[in-house]
Amino acid sequence: MYNRYYIMKLLVTGGTGLVGSSIKEYVKDDNENTYKFLSSKDVNLINEGEVNALFNNFRPDVVIHLASRVAGLYGNMNDNYGFLVDNLKLNTNILENCKKYKVKKLINILSTCVFPDKNVTYPLTSDQILNGEPHSSNEGYSYSKRLLFTGSKLLFNQKESFDMPDFSVVNIIPTNLYGEHDNYHLVNSHVIPGLIHKCYLAKDNNTDLIIKGTGSAKRQFLYSGDLAKIILMFAYSDEYKGQFLSLVASVPSSHEISIKQVVEKIVKSFDFKGNVVYDTSYSDGQPAKTTDSSEVIKYFPNFKYTDIDHGLNWMIQYFKENFETVRK
């Protein structure tokens, strides 16, 4: 899957979340390198002192920065200010300690929400993220991610003066993620795990399945294991030493599907026979955020993405088998 060029210490923030857990699956047999998969129970990344102590004790070579305060569409709409402030503090603490402890490589995970609501060309490419204001529904979170990108760029630009000549930054902008280790909360979740939990309960309780919005919004869905592979390939590659890279991680635009189509796949997998009701009083968010899949292929020409039917089936099976213990 990837090459190991040298023994190193890797810090994974958000290490017990969706993508962090997927990375852990891939490296569990790696005895050469030292990993620290960080959870919010270990360190409060919003606390400057705690983050400094973490870096001082572990001294990572590579930081894979996954952690952020996240929620779904409606969670963001209800607390845009809180999402801005908390994520700004968190990201600034990571950047400051990368500088202080001379980290060799920083891999940031951004989000397609950083793209402008208008003044963009579809499919979206990484060079368009600052072309205008983001969508108002999640502007707090969006701006915090934009400032992570900008802060990383400014740090990179001054790397020589900070005695970090080989410092490199990789900004990865994934499309909508899904996978077994997601948060299945009924409100504060990504769209797919929330739908899976709702369908499970509707079938179990013999009630209607209520979907917020019309279901017409279209999205490209990226399996978390695929993103984990991309991250690790960059983490272990020495080819891009001393560079600042940004790329969209996305399945091809031909794989874009509507929320209604996702609902239909989940309903079929659960063999749910009840009514599916779309509550059109709720917003759909942006109608589409079509992204370009060529940027990953530029770096890894033979990369293959997981088909959504396979990914959904694995995820639903995992949810059923681990219902009592999954995050929800």
Report, as residue numbers or ranges, the catalytic residues.
141
User: 172 pairs with which residues across the strands?
Assistant: 109, 247
Cα separation, 202 vs 275, in Å, equals 9
Residues 42, 48, 53, 55, CA torsion sign: positive
Q: What are phi and psi of 9, to 5 degrees?
A: -110, 130
Tell me whether residue 65 is exposed, middle or buried, using C-beta atoms within 10 angstroms of its C-beta: 0 to 12, 13 to 18, 19 or more. buried
Burial 141-152 (b: 16+ CB within 10 A, else e): bbbbbbbbbebb
Cα separation, 58 vs 33, in Å, equals 13
Find the length of the chain.
328
244-249 sheet: strands from edge to edge = 34-37, 9-13, 62-65, 105-109, 168-174, 244-249
Residues 94 and 151 sit within 8 Å (Cβ to Cβ): no
User: 221 pairs with which residues across the strands?
Assistant: 176
Burial 301-316 (b: 16+ CB within 10 A, else e): eeeebbebeebbeebb
Axis crossing angle, helix 48-58 with helix 80-100, rounded to the nearest 10: 30
Q: What are phi and psi of 122, to 5 degrees?
A: -100, 145
